[in-house]
Amino acid sequence: MNKKIIWIIVFLAFVIVVNGTCPPDCSTKDSITTNTYSEEDAYSNPDFFKNSDPALWNWNYINGQNWKNINWKDAKVQDAINTNPNAADRYLNMSGCGSCSFYGYNNKVTFSADGMIKHQNGDTLTAINYPEGTIFEVTSTGFIVTLPHSEETFSIPSTDTITLDTKEFDINLLGKNIPPGVRVNGKIIFKNGNAYLPSGQESVIINNVMVTHYIPGAGGELNPPDSPTQIFFDGKPHNKANNYVSLNPSTGEMVMNSNYEGSTVSVTFNENNPFIYVEKDDIVIAECKHNTEIKITNNERKGNIPSLVVTATNSKKYDFWIRSGKVFIGGSNYGITTNVESINARSSPMEIKIFDYSGKSLLGDKENPQKIIVSNFNELVTIPIDQESGMTRAGFEVSSRLSIAYPTVQEIAKGKAIIIPGNPSQKEIQEIIALTPPGQIVIIGTDDPVVVRETLTMIGNMPPDVRASIKGIEILSDEEWKEREKEVYGSVGQTGGGYASSNGVITLSMSAFRENIMKHEAAHERVFSLIEQDSDFSKEWNNVAGDVYGKDLGEKMAGGNKLSLYWVDGKNEPRNGCVKAYGCNNLQEDVATTVEFIYKSPYYFRELVNPENSEYNPIYREKIDLLCSYGFVDGNIYKEVTGEERTCMGDAG
Amino acid sequence: MKKIRMILFLIILLILIKGTLAVSHYYDLNLVYDKGNISYEYVSVKILEEGMVINNLPGKYTAELVSFDGNILNTTKFRIPLTILYDNFDENGTIAEGGERTLDKTTQIVVLPYFDNTKEINIYDNNMIKKLTIDVSYYAKDMTKTKKEKVQETSEIAKYSEEQKKEKISNKIIVLAAAVIIAMIIIAVIIKHRNKK
């Protein structure tokens, strides 16, 4: 009995063993059944790999021993990995990239025994070069590699061609020709160790500098160019025939170049970049449109502000622009333009030199080459190229020296203003204003050096009699403005605004802190002063303006003493001798809108006083004459608009 | 040596006298305008801080300081602001709303130079019609004991000013003392140097 049982057990064991291994004739396809694929031992037989269908393989049984038995040239093997996520993941794992994943199976790629993956377009990557948890995505244009968030550094493989997508995280780059401290955020192509901004993409952030390239579309939209822009990390110039940006965060040097006509390479400097010191709310952008190279150097070690050297790389055509806050500097073969715009932006100090193809300065002339210095306070001075500093019209020094570039609020205000930060009571404001020496003003609500300096510059640029009408400037945050508006008018309207009170104080919200608005409110103050002095100004102005106030105006804004914004037909062009419908509400707004208009749009006002223009009305000329006589405008703007020399009230000489 | 000491003493004395005399004062007058009528909330005397001057925004109203013997010591033009013009702007800096508000009631601080013989302050409107007379005799230098009490009642700010004045003088004394010590050291060094010669 016992012997029989033993024999049965032996027989059963034999059957199990025989069924569990590849049949002896594993060398034929027929000998491999469906069950064979689920038997791990089958995968240790080299014949299994020759005769089985890779599509049915259990990839979990692929290991270091049987890896060499796989016929990598077999299209079925390639298909299997391309179509089976488990197969692909196992492949990556076996190739040295543990817990890595693969996506994008519609784009066939070729897998090699050595872990190299080849895209149809010829791009290759080697799995072992990437850290655990990397995600590989295959697109029609190539490989997109996403590193796990735990990864802070990435060694650029010198053999691979990939697009690294940092998914909005900063990744430190390591590799040949990469200085320490290079960090990227966004998508960037690496091809055989070289970096490019992908042609199908607009921008990448490198050490807090956003590098963008685009071509303007027919409808004005921005499209990435067809050719990629190369990124270097040495901060040195490269082949001018290509579009490139070369940044070296270690030395603080950068060169950008655009050659391809119609395409643009642009850099936007964010806070904590190593090239140009940028503070919150600063806007700093440099853009090479074509045939231009801009070299940027952080000169902090030399005790100087950053320098930007622009060079036209073509004798006929070049195009670039630089913005630092409100200051705009543009250049093309048509010439160099500079402007301080009436926008909400803060600047960063920089020195700018501009040269043509032959090395001749495009600022100044051959005998007296010049350069531009932009201050931290939206100011711009043009001075001889070998000079260190210059003065603004408002009497502030603008310098290449860092020690002068960032003065304290006390240094800025000295002899010019009394600063009362915080939220003083109206009584305190009235008292301090009544005690402030002539020639000085009181700045209330802020001790921000930028706001204080800009305020003093705006005031300093005004004609003396307008300046003298202003005793104080109160600056409110937009939140404070809303509260004040509710308190004073009982309602909240726009987010920003300003008001002029007959006490000589102009109140502005931060979002309305602009030169044209300051000029508008200052004109109100000048009118208040003239009224208080029993001047004939109002009488004379009314005689010139005629009986126009309130005529042809559209609906008034809701509320008590509110004013009309448009003409009755909904338009707002100059009419009835008023530059805007708003001006035809009353004398005060007529004067203020006219002064604002003259300074903001002198070319347009020139047309209004030109008898040959369809919008001509002699009233405009009479008005600017009167504004000149009463010191609202100075001789410079008068000449710009009328073409005639005249000494206005308050003009020197 | 005696001559040097004498000169030093005179210099110190002059500086001390100058420091004490340099403190000047002003009237801080808080007027109340109510539909054409003018009254006042308070008047006090304060120290005019260094670098500050009396510089009211000129206007149609006049303040007149009159002495005990009826002389006009000073007239100052000032303004009572009643109009506010407001303009709201959109994000492009273009006017999006505007209006005007005229106040029928307001308060206005007026500062006037202090004279120690001022009896009263008269306020006139733009037609030079007297609108208000304020007795400030209690701030005159020869004020009586009862007037002193009145000062205490009416002006807490004046007390504060006195404290400020004391603090200012004590600061000056400290600076002067330091200057004297330094000067003495320098003189001692010079004398020692001469004696060696």
DSSP per-residue codes, chain B: -HHHHHHHHHHHHHHHHHHHHT-EEEEEEEEEEETTEEEEEEEEEEEE-TT----PPP-SEEEEEEETTS-EEEEEEE----EEEEEEE-TTS-EEEEEEEE-SEEEEEEEEE--TTEEEEEEE-TT--EEEEEE-GGGSTT--HHHHHHHHHH-HHHHHHHHHHHHHHHHHHHHHHHHHHHHHHHHHHHHHHHHH-
- The whole-number pLDDT of residue A220 equals 61
Of B18 and B184, more confident: B184
CB A186 within 8 A of CB A204: yes
Triad A162, A167, A172: Cα angle to 5° = 70
Q: Write the CB contacts of B166 (distance below 8 Å, at least 6 apart in sequence).
A: none
- Please name the residues between 411 and 450 in chain A that touch chain B, using a CB distance below 8 Å: 426-427, 430-431, 433-438
Q: Do A534 and B60 touch (CB under 8 A)?
A: yes
CB A151 within 8 A of CB A165: no
Chain position carrying tokens 């100087």: A304
Triad A319, A249, A243: Cα angle to 5° = 30
- The amino acid present at A637, given as its one-letter code, is I
Tokens of A194: 């070289």
Q: SS in 3 state form for A595-648?
A: HHHHHHCHHHHHHHCCCCCCCCCHHHHHHHHHHHHCCCCCHHHHHHHHCCCCCC
How big is chain B by its Cα radius of gyration, in Å?
25
Tokens of A551: 């005529």
Chain B within 8 Å of A534 (Cβ-Cβ)? yes
Tokens of A289: 């449109």
- The whole-number pLDDT of residue A479 equals 87
CB A251 within 8 A of CB A275: no
Mean of all residue pLDDT scores within chain A: 90
Number of H helices, E strands in chain A: 16, 34
Chain B within 8 Å of A482 (Cβ-Cβ)? no
Mutate to test the interface with B, among A561, A579, A590 (most CBs of B within 10 A): A561
Say how many C-beta atoms besides its own lie within 10 A of residue A437's C-beta: 12
- The whole-number pLDDT of residue B156 equals 45
Measured CA to CA, the distance from residue A242 to residue A239 in angstroms comes to 6
- Please name the residues between 591 and 610 in chain A that touch chain B, using a CB distance below 8 Å: 592-593
Chain B within 8 Å of A585 (Cβ-Cβ)? yes
Q: Do B87 and A520 touch (CB under 8 A)?
A: yes
Mutate to test the interface with B, among A503, A582, A594 (most CBs of B within 10 A): A503
Mutate to test the interface with A, among B87, B107, B109, B112 (most CBs of A within 10 A): B87
* pLDDT tens column, B65-108: 999 999 999 999 999 999 988 888 887 778 888 888 888 999 99
What is the nearest CA distance from B106 to chain A, expressed in angstroms? 11
Tokens of A423: 């939220």
Mutate to test the interface with B, among A342, A410, A430, A495 (most CBs of B within 10 A): A430
Measured CA to CA, the distance from residue B11 to residue B4 in angstroms comes to 11
Quickly state the pLDDT bin for B193 (edges 50, 70, 90). Answer: confident
Nearest to A560 among B30, B78, B99 (CB): B99
Q: Do B91 and A489 touch (CB under 8 A)?
A: no
- The whole-number pLDDT of residue A317 equals 87
What is the nearest CA distance from A557 to chain B, expressed in angstroms? 7
In terms of CA atoms, which chain A residue is nearest residue B32? A427
Q: What is the pTM of this model?
A: 0.80
- The whole-number pLDDT of residue B165 equals 56
Of A592 and B161, more confident: A592
Measured CA to CA, the distance from residue A296 to residue A309 in angstroms comes to 7
What is the nearest CA distance from A644 to chain B, expressed in angstroms? 30
- The whole-number pLDDT of residue A409 equals 97
- What is the total residue count of chain A? 653
How far is CA B41 from its chain centroid? 18
Residues of chain A falling short of pLDDT 50: 15-20, 23-24
Q: Do B85 and A438 touch (CB under 8 A)?
A: no
Pairing of strands A116-118, A110-111: antiparallel
Q: Do B88 and A494 touch (CB under 8 A)?
A: yes
Q: Write the CB contacts of A54 (distance below 8 Å, at least 6 apart in sequence).
A: A74, A76, A77, A79, A80
| Whether residue B164 has pLDDT greater than 90 | no
How big is chain A by its Cα radius of gyration, in Å?
36
Measured CA to CA, the distance from residue A247 to residue A232 in angstroms comes to 6
- Please name the residues between 485 and 504 in chain A that touch chain B, using a CB distance below 8 Å: 485, 488-489, 493-504
- The whole-number pLDDT of residue A30 equals 81
Mutate to test the interface with B, among A341, A436, A478, A501 (most CBs of B within 10 A): A501
Helix (H, G, I), strand (E, B) or coil at A29: coil
Nearest to A563 among B78, B91, B98 (CB): B98
Q: Do B55 and A557 touch (CB under 8 A)?
A: no
Nearest to A497 among B54, B56, B88 (CB): B88
Nearest to A434 among B96, B97, B111 (CB): B111
Q: Do A431 and B111 touch (CB under 8 A)?
A: yes
Measured CA to CA, the distance from residue A106 to residue A114 in angstroms comes to 23
Q: Write the CB contacts of A296 (distance below 8 Å, at least 6 apart in sequence).
A: A253, A254, A255, A256, A275, A276, A286, A306, A307, A308
- The whole-number pLDDT of residue A4 equals 74
Q: Write the CB contacts of A6 (distance below 8 Å, at least 6 apart in sequence).
A: none
The candidate with the shortest Cα–Cα distance to A226, out of A201, A208, A245, A195, is A201
Helix (H, G, I), strand (E, B) or coil at A513: coil
Q: Could you tell me the strand order of the sheet in which B37-48 lies?
A: B37-48, B24-34, B105-113
- What is the total residue count of chain B? 197
In terms of CA atoms, which chain B residue is nearest residue A430? B109
User: Rounded to the nearest 5°, which phi and psi values hold at A57?
Assistant: -60, 145
Nearest to B55 among A437, A497, A532 (CB): A437
In terms of CA atoms, which chain B residue is nearest residue A581? B95
Q: Do B51 and A437 touch (CB under 8 A)?
A: yes
Triad A578, A580, A585: Cα angle to 5° = 70
Q: Do A435 and B54 touch (CB under 8 A)?
A: yes
Q: Do A430 and B108 touch (CB under 8 A)?
A: yes
